[in-house]
């Protein structure tokens, strides 16, 4: 499990992309030869991984959007899992 600094700027690993399936009302991560169904939280996090925002900014934005604090540990854990699955890369 890799540990990324809160100052890192993640983005989806190319050629992966997100798509919202309106019929099933679910966020999908489309990758070569694989489609991953995401829950609402995972979709919200990945939508913010644009290579411009830092992990810290993503955490702040999600806490503000959902009116919650203390999401940092869960979001950082999600980044570790997403990294292990090869969904993300860092912008340099």
The CATH number of residue 80's host domain is 1.10.10.1150
> Is residue 1, in this structure, part of any structural domain at all?
no
How far is it, in rounded angstroms, from Cα 49 to Cα 6?
Answer: 13
What pLDDT is recorded for position 52?
96
Domains in the chain: how many in total? 1
- Whether residue 20 is contained in a domain is answered as yes
Decide if pLDDT at 2 tops 90.
no
Q: Assess if residue 28 is contained within a domain.
A: yes
**pTM of the predicted structure, to 2 decimals:** 0.91
Average pLDDT, the chain: 93
Does residue 4 belong to any structural domain of this protein? no
Residue 36's domain comprises: 10-85
Domain-located, residue 73: yes
Query: Residue with structure tokens 């899992």?
Result: 81
């Amino acid at each position: 499990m890799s540990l990324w600094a809160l100052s890192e700027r993640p983005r989806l690993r190319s050629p992966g992309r997100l798509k919202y399936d309106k019929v099933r009302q679910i966020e999908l991560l489309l990758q070569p030869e694989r489609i991953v169904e995401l829950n609402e939280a995972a979709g919200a996090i990945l939508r913010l991984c644009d290579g411009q925002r830092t992990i810290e900014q993503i955490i702040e934005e999600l806490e503000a959007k959902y009116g919650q604090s203390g999401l940092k540990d869960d979001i950082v854990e999600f980044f570790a899992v997403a990294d292990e699955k090869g969904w993300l890369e860092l912008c340099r």
